[in-house]
Amino acid sequence: MSLDTYTWPRPHGFTPFDHQKVTSEFLISNPKAFCFNEQGTGKTASVIWAVDHLMNLNVVKRVLVICPLSIMKSAWQQDLFKFAIHRTVDIAYGSVRKRKEIIGGMAEFVIINFDGVSIVKNEIIDGEFDLIVVDEASAYKNAQTERWKTLRDINKSVKGLWMLTGTPAAQSPVDAYGLAKLVNPKGVSPFFGQYRDSVMQQLTKFKWTPKPTANQTVHRILQPAIRFEKAQCLDLPPVTSVDRDAPLTPQQLAYYKVLLKEMLIEAAGEEVSAVNAAAKANKLLQISGGAVYTDNGEVLEFDVSNRLNVVQEIIDECSHKVLVFVPFTHTIELLKRHLTKNHIACEVINGAVSVNRRSDIVKNFQERPTVKVLIIQPQAASHGLTLTAADTIIWYAPCTSVETYLQANARIDRPGQVNPMTIYHIMGSTVERKIYSMLRGNVSSHQKIVDLYRQVLAETP
């Protein structure tokens, strides 16, 4: 089915890139399919155009988009407003009652997070959805989980299933099994053990290694599929900026509100100095990041699972190496513990790392495949370092200096970089959104810190 005569809905002056059009055509032709395009290649827009075309043909009436919590609004809702403004969109998030009302409503596109699907499983099955789109589909690689089994049951009630991920089997060939069972069940063994034995060989009781033919087997079962890499999409801008939401957990939100209340009382009593405003804003940033320093120098850690999950989601989707900028020392330790626990090889550069050790870390990161993630305190490594082995930057939380922000981003945007680059900004609070806005607008937050302070007081977290 060709799109040659189709009028693409788009903002004035926008033309879809060839790889996006080809991706749309592929999806339209395959009700059950994989899209393995790398992050940053515009696959969300490709899906929206494909769905819109199918809706125009009355092939599809309702679509359920399942994705991480962090991109429900910042990616899917915003892109739907941009590329399919004539379609109705709703987000099934919040109370169980609200989720059920939205699933049972009339919206053509319904967006829901991974963990919300099981809450309204029966309503989804009865919701007359024709197509399910799963973004960052590697979350469904394990066929033993309740999450996977829920999608399997829902999948029986729909015409189409499109699964999107740039890294379908990043850690092991066995990761492909759960994905294949959903999209191409006839192409893969019904038994996991049998599939594992076809792609892995056992060296010891607990150690397995991929067989030489594993890649060919994975390619065969993950069909039909399409893939474009960022390097192939030469028309893309060299640097893409992406926002990811990481809502504050209830514990974070409680402390955040306590500090806001103190700030309101203080602001009502007297003029606030820039120094004091900066100190209070810094405390809000610390709470947002997961660890705050008390007046006596102790560290209070918070449940920051939402933010840690977002970081891991991004890393899992990246084909190349990643820099994570984290402003606060103790938050760096918190993140390193999380990544290590989840078997993601990482190193740290902060003010406590010696010059010689730092040189060794950079050399290994640039030249060896063993370390995928480098966690950096931006003040300690925003100048001089070349880190072009990475093509992705994650700002775990914002710094407060425009110069530091720009210099930190320049660590990957240097001679020797061969891939288009992506910069992610993680945010969960008003103070973070305001500071990111200042940083990207080259407005010194030090000059505007009192204005920032008052804007934060005027809005919810």
Helix (H) or strand (E) holding 83: helix 78-83
**pLDDT value at residue 359:** 83
Task: Name the residue with higher pLDDT: 280 or 195.
Answer: 195
Specify whether 310 is located in the same domain as 363.
Answer: yes
d(CA 69, CA 426): 12
Sheet arrangement for strand 32-35? 89-91, 109-113, 63-67, 131-135, 160-164, 32-35, 225-226
Q: Do strands 321-325 and 200-202 pair parallel, antiparallel, or not at all (unpaired)? A: unpaired
Indicate if 165 and 243 belong to the same structural domain: no
Q: Looking at the structure, do residues 199 and 314 belong to the same domain, yes or no?
A: no
Do residues 329 and 309 both lie within one domain? yes
33 alpha carbon, distance to own chain's centre: 21
User: β-strands 225-226, 32-35: how paired?
Assistant: parallel
Are 113 and 172 contained in the same domain? yes
Q: What is the pLDDT of residue 366?
A: 93
Same domain, 116 and 218: yes
Q: Which residue has the higher pLDDT, 276 or 292?
A: 292
Alpha-helix runs per DSSP H in 140-249: 146-155, 176-183, 192-199, 214-221
Tokens of 299: 């560290």
Give the pairing of strands 208-210 and 200-202.
antiparallel
Whole-angstrom distance, CA of residue 50 vs CA of residue 160: 12
Q: Which helix (H) or strand (E) holds 171?
A: none
| Confidence band, pLDDT 50/70/90 cuts, at residue 229 | confident
Last residue of some domain: 173, 200, 232?
Answer: 232
The answer on pLDDT for 2 being more than 50 is no
d(CA 397, CA 328): 9
Half-sphere exposure of 254 (CA within 13 A, CB side): 6
In the chain, what's the furthest Cα-to-Cα distance?
A: 72
What's the CA gap between 362 and 278, in Å, rounded?
A: 32
Q: How far is CA 8 from the centre of its chain?
A: 27
Reported confidence tier of residue 391, pLDDT bands at 50, 70, 90? very high
Task: Quick: pLDDT tens for 293-339.
Answer: 776 777 889 999 999 999 999 999 888 999 999 999 999 999 999 99
Q: In the predicted model, is pLDDT for residue 284 greater than 80?
A: yes
DSSP code for 247: P
Distance CA 397, CA 308 (A): 11
For residue 307, what are its two tokens? 């933010």
Tell me if 282 is assigned to some domain: no
Amino acid identity, position 458: A
Any domain includes 6? no
Helix (H) or strand (E) holding 237: none
Looking at residue 24, which CATH number applies to its domain?
Answer: 3.40.50.10810
Q: Is 437 among the domain residues?
A: yes
Q: Which of 128-132, 216-220, 331-335, 433-437 has the lowest mean pLDDT?
A: 433-437
- Which one has a higher pLDDT value, 414 or 436? 436
Position with higher pLDDT, 455 vs 202: 202
Residue-level pLDDT at 8: 34
CATH number of the structural domain spanning residue 307: 3.40.50.300
What is residue 401's predicted lDDT score, i.e. its pLDDT? 82
For residue 152, tell me if it sits in a domain.
yes
- CA-closest candidate to residue 318, choices 41, 79, 20, 73: 41
Same domain, 101 and 146: yes
Together in a domain, 206 and 312 = no
Instruction: Read off the pLDDT band of 73 (50, 70, 90).
Output: confident
Could you list the residue range(s) of the whole structural domain that residue 47 is in?
A: 18-232
Q: Which residues, listed in sequence order, are joined to residue 393 by a DSSP beta bridge?
A: 323, 423
Residues 178 and 43 in one domain: yes
Q: What is the pLDDT of residues 23-68, one digit of tens each?
A: 999 999 999 999 999 877 888 999 999 999 999 999 999 999 999 8
The number of distinct structural domains making up the chain is 2
Residue 189 has a pLDDT of: 92
Mean of per-residue pLDDT scores for the chain: 86
Distances in Å between the Cα of 441 and the Cα atoms of 101, 284, 306, 444 are: 39, 21, 27, 9
Sort 43 into a burial class: Cβ within 10 Å, 0-12 / 13-18 / 19+. buried
Report in angstroms the alpha-carbon separations of 21 from 44, 75, 79, 165.
12, 19, 16, 18
The answer to whether residues 243 and 174 belong to one domain is no
Check if the beta carbon of residue 223 is closer than 8 Å to that of residue 32. Answer: no
Q: What's the rounded Cα separation, in Å, for the pair 135 and 109?
A: 14
Of 173, 206, 232, at which residue does a domain stop?
Answer: 232
C-beta of residue 99 within 8 angstroms of C-beta of residue 75: no
Closest-CA residue to 256 (of 396, 424, 377, 432): 432
Q: Against a cut of 0.85, is the pTM above it?
A: no
Backbone angles phi, psi at 64, to 5 degrees: -105, 120
Phi and psi angles of residue 57, each rounded to the nearest 5 degrees, phi first: -90, 0
Is residue 393, in this structure, part of any structural domain at all?
A: yes
Element holding 316 (H helix, E strand) = helix 305-317
Most confident of 8-22, 147-161, 372-386: 147-161
Which of 3-17, 171-185, 216-230 shows the lowest per-residue confidence on average (mean pLDDT)? 3-17
Half-sphere exposure of 375 (CA within 13 A, CB side): 26
Position 275 in a domain: no
* CA separation for the pair 421, 418 (Å, rounded): 9
Distance between CA atoms of 249 and 409, rounded to whole angstroms?
A: 28
Do 180 and 62 lie in one domain? The reply is: yes
Question: Do 30 and 126 fall into the same domain?
Answer: yes
Residue 266 lies in a domain: no
Residue type at position 315: I
Structural domain includes residue 28? yes
Type of residue numbered 350: N
Q: Of 184, 200, 232, which closes a domain?
A: 232
So what's the pLDDT on residue 424?
96
Exposure of 144 in the CB half-sphere (CA atoms within 13 A): 5
Whether residue 342 has pLDDT greater than 90: yes
319, containing H or E segment: none
134: β partners: 66, 163
Whether the per-residue pLDDT at 204 is higher than 80: the answer is: yes
